[in-house]
Amino acid sequence: MSRVWKIGVAGLGTVGGGLLQFLAERPGFAPAGGQAVVTAVSARSRTRPRPVDISGLAWFDDPVALAVSPDIDIFVELIGGSDGPAKAAVEAALKAGKPVVTANKALIAEHGAALAVLAEAADVPLLFEAAVMGGTPAVKMLREAMVGDDVAGVAGILNGTCNFILSEMEQRGASFADVLAEAQRMGYAEADPTMDIGGFDAAHKVTIMAALAFGCAPNFAAAEIEGIDQVDLLDIRLARDLGYRIRLIASADRTPDGVAVRVHPSLVAQGHPLAETRGALNALFIEGTRIGRIFIQGPGAGAGPTAAAAADIADVMTGARRPVFQAPAVGLKPFVAVAPTRRVGKAYLRMLVKDQAGVIAAVSETLAECGVSIDSFMQKPVEDAGGVPIVLTTHAIAESVLTDAINRIEKLPAVLERPRLLRIARI
């Protein structure tokens, strides 16, 4: 007789409700056989309407009590948040020897190393496919498919909300505020969108990717984060005129100085797969030293996390075991961040200046004095811009040099505001 695996689910939002419905319809979905049956749940509201009747399931007001219940075999955490009940419940489940499946990217990015120690000490899986790129198997790609290669870097679009906003601003010529409001009406953005538009959601995800790619402990504190809330429609238009689109790019690269983990709005050349990734889609490049470049793309929300959580449950049922972050957790060291001043790359600079003689000469002279080499230059009057935009792109330059140049240009009498810096993605 095939084994019945009893599942406890904490958090019954979109993903949790979808998982309950999926397992109710297909309890025998796992290729290895057996039945996965939800027997107990925990959530903030017991009476909220859900796609599946939960009246016959054991109810726990406290997710920690559910996590340690002797009547479940697998604990699924879909509460969210890096601390509080989610962290307490996952810790309790691991200490009790329960396999854990989670979609909580903040929890793994900020506490993954300590949780990995607990999981490996108890010899139980800690799986989080649903934490990155929804149902697109980015975690499995790094955790399993790439173990025979050395990963040099990963880069991509890891937040569908930001990608939707930037895509709509470009296509419709609408302001950031207007498109954000639309995204909130459509359910793409939360009432408080800070985690998304501030770049923190993407940073959590790329921190996890860095740990898997380079066999180190996650180190969210080392990520360099800039969101899209300061991206102006003017820059989207001017970048397009230069042959680029602006995307929020999350990247992790191995360098001689350490690991550079960054989230920045960046210029991507038109025609590049990331520039053509529109709407709420996610997309990721993985660079292997042997296999070369792999590109994956898919929805970052919707039913994807449900499918990913189900895939993790299937892995538990098959008895799969591997280190959480590619190497034994005990002694796993966090990656060492590369100082931003040591970074070298191409850049986009946009200045808003007074319409008067000698401005271009003053800007060019300042850049030359700082050692900044100009790749392209454009001066284009724009209606309602409040001044004359001057746009240039640079050859590869250390960011410390570029910052010095920006500080000097800002002080020029004809310059109306601090120059806007955007990186040009190296992808």
What's 372's domain CATH number?
A: 3.30.70.260
Q: Give domain status of residue 331, yes or no.
A: no
- Tokens 């559910």 locate to 66
Q: In this structure, are residues 239 and 195 in contact, taking their beta carbons and an 8 Å threshold? A: no
Q: Which of 79, 4, 12 is nearest to 41 (CA)?
A: 12
161 token code pair: 């909300």
Q: Give domain status of residue 325, yes or no.
A: no
Q: Are residues 143 and 103 in the same domain?
A: no
Q: Are residues 186 and 291 in the same domain?
A: yes
Q: In this structure, are residues 244 and 220 in contact, taking their beta carbons and an 8 Å threshold? A: no
Q: Are residues 279 and 214 in the same domain?
A: yes
Q: Are residues 131 and 205 in the same domain?
A: no
Q: Are residues 21 and 158 in the same domain?
A: no
The CATH number for 311's domain is 3.40.50.720
Q: How far apart are CA 351 and CA 374, in angstroms?
A: 14
Q: At what angle do helices 105-122 and 200-214 cross, to 10 degrees?
A: 30
pLDDT in the model for residue 148: 85
Q: Which of 331, 335, 330 is nearest to 119 (CA)?
A: 330
174 token code pair: 């609408």
Q: How many other CB atoms are found less than 10 A from the CB of residue 83? A: 11
188 token code pair: 């793409």
Q: Are residues 80 and 175 in the same domain?
A: no
Q: Give domain status of residue 326, yes or no.
A: no
pLDDT in the model for residue 344: 82
Domain count, the chain: 3
Q: Are residues 179 and 222 in the same domain?
A: yes
Q: How far apart are the first and last CA of the chain?
A: 52
Amino acid at 215: G
Q: How many other CB atoms are found less than 10 A from the CB of residue 379? A: 13
Q: Supply φ then ψ for residue 334, to 5 degrees.
A: -65, 150
Note the pTM of the prediction, 2 decimals: 0.93
Q: Are residues 148 and 108 in the same domain?
A: no
Q: Give domain status of residue 268, yes or no.
A: yes
Q: How many other CB atoms are found less than 10 A from the CB of residue 289? A: 10
Q: In this structure, are residues 210 and 232 in contact, taking their beta carbons and an 8 Å threshold? A: no
Q: Give domain status of residue 154, yes or no.
A: yes
Q: Give domain status of residue 208, yes or no.
A: yes
pLDDT in the model for residue 307: 86
Q: Are residues 287 and 312 in the same domain?
A: no
Q: Give domain status of residue 336, yes or no.
A: no
Q: At what angle do helices 160-172 and 176-186 cross, to 10 degrees?
A: 130
Q: In this structure, are residues 304 and 135 in contact, taking their beta carbons and an 8 Å threshold? A: yes
Q: In this structure, are residues 34 and 5 in contact, taking their beta carbons and an 8 Å threshold? A: yes
Residue 417: domain span: 341-424
Q: Are residues 123 and 142 in the same domain?
A: no
pLDDT in the model for residue 301: 66
Q: Give domain status of residue 328, yes or no.
A: no
Per-residue pLDDT in tens (0 to 9) along the chain, 427 residues: 479 999 999 999 888 999 999 999 999 999 888 999 999 999 998 888 888 899 999 999 999 999 999 999 999 999 999 999 999 999 999 999 999 999 999 999 999 999 999 999 999 999 999 999 988 899 999 999 888 889 999 999 999 999 999 999 999 999 999 999 998 988 888 889 999 999 999 999 999 999 999 988 999 999 999 999 999 999 999 999 999 999 999 999 988 877 889 999 999 999 999 999 998 899 999 999 999 999 999 887 666 788 889 999 999 999 878 899 988 888 888 777 777 666 788 999 999 998 888 888 999 999 999 999 999 988 877 776 678 899 999 999 998 899 999 999 999 999 999 999 999 998 8
333 is catalytic: no
Q: At what angle do helices 304-318 and 14-25 cross, to 10 degrees?
A: 50
Q: How far apart are CA 29 and CA 315, in angstroms?
A: 12
Q: How far is CA 50 from the centre of its chain?
A: 28
Q: Are residues 219 and 112 in the same domain?
A: no
Quote the DSSP letter at residue 143. Answer: I
Q: 283 Cβ partners below 8 Å, 6+ apart? A: 156, 157, 273, 274, 277, 295, 296, 297, 298
**DSSP secondary structure, 344-412, as one string:** EE-EEEEEEE-S-TTHHHHHHHHHHHHTPPEEEEEE---TTSSSEEEEEEE-SEEHHHHHHHHHHHHTS
**For residue 37, what are the β-bridge partners?**
6
Q: How far apart are CA 60 and CA 93, in angstroms?
A: 14
Of the listed 6, 95, 205, 354, which one is catalytic? 205
The CATH number for 276's domain is 3.30.360.10
Q: Are residues 18 and 115 in the same domain?
A: yes
Q: Supply φ then ψ for residue 370, to 5 degrees.
A: -85, -10
pLDDT in the model for residue 207: 96
Quote the DSSP letter at residue 109. Answer: H
Q: How far apart are CA 285 and CA 275, in angstroms?
A: 13
pLDDT in the model for residue 121: 94
